[in-house]
Amino acid sequence: MQLSPRQQQIVAIVKRSGPITSRQIAEELNLTRAALRPDLAVLTMSGILEARPRVGYFLSSKPSQALVAEEIKKIKVGDVKGLPRVIRASASVYDAIVNMFIEDVGTLMVVDEEGHLEGVLSRKDLLKAAIGGGNLQKMPASVVMTRMPNIICTTPEESVLTAARKIIEHEVDALPVVRPVDGQAKKLEVIGRLTKTTITRLFVELGEGRS
């Protein structure tokens, strides 16, 4: 939220002299109380100022940092997730490398014929296979991928904050976005992906006030 110059002046006055009545603020700014009312309404509704009858206005005990955190917690993975980039476990490591270039991604999700998650392939997995000296055209991706049940996933309903924490804690670049398959315990359908780039883009949008 961008405060107007007058709203910034009001916050400065309240910071310096609060608790202070609206009459006193109006006097300092050479305005009528009526002219001040919309700005005071904005500042109290946004949680920056608090008002108490017969006391006046004072800076909110809840810092606006907390308000930012509350807004961030409301953003769900489903609001920002990207399309899944998938490959079959039977595909060769060579094809996986080509796929990574064509799709311009750093992580591929490995799925079975029904689109259910089997594993994850990262750049390092493929580099490891490449320096191993084997025949990359013949080596199946399943040999080098990280496989289920060791895959860290997220869901569209999860908050982006929780998912971002998983990325940091598990030191990975991307999480498959999944949903359980009806009647098939342990099976997960891949419906998207959440990457460090997704989070960075969101961060920039929030910073620029676009999200």
Which residues contact ligand ADP (rule: CB under 6 A)? Answer: 106-107, 120, 122-125, 146, 150-152, 171-175
Q: Choose between 51 and 130: whose C-beta lies nearer to ligand ADP.
A: 130
Q: Choose between 49 and 194: whose C-beta lies nearer to ligand ADP.
A: 194
Kindly state the smallest distance separating residue 74's Cβ from ligand ADP, in Å. 24
DSSP line for the chain: -PPPHHHHHHHHHHHHH-SB-HHHHHHHHT--HHHHHHHHHHHHHTTSEEEETTTEEEE-SS-HHHHHHHHHHT-BHHHH-B---EEETTSBHHHHHHHHHHHT-SEEEEE-TTSBEEEEEEHHHHHHHHHTTS-TTTSBGGGTSEETTS---B-TTSBHHHHHHHHHHTT-SEEEEEEEETTEEEEEEEEEEEEHHHHHHHHHHHHTT--
Q: Choose between 47 and 106: whose C-beta lies nearer to ligand ADP.
A: 106
Kindly state the smallest distance separating residue 153's Cβ from ligand ADP, in Å. 7
Kindly state the smallest distance separating residue 15's Cβ from ligand ADP, in Å. 45
Kindly state the smallest distance separating residue 127's Cβ from ligand ADP, in Å. 8
Q: Choose between 6 and 123: whose C-beta lies nearer to ligand ADP.
A: 123
Question: Which residue's Cβ lies closest to ligand ADP?
Answer: 124
Q: Choose between 24 and 159: whose C-beta lies nearer to ligand ADP.
A: 159
Kindly state the smallest distance separating residue 172's Cβ from ligand ADP, in Å. 4
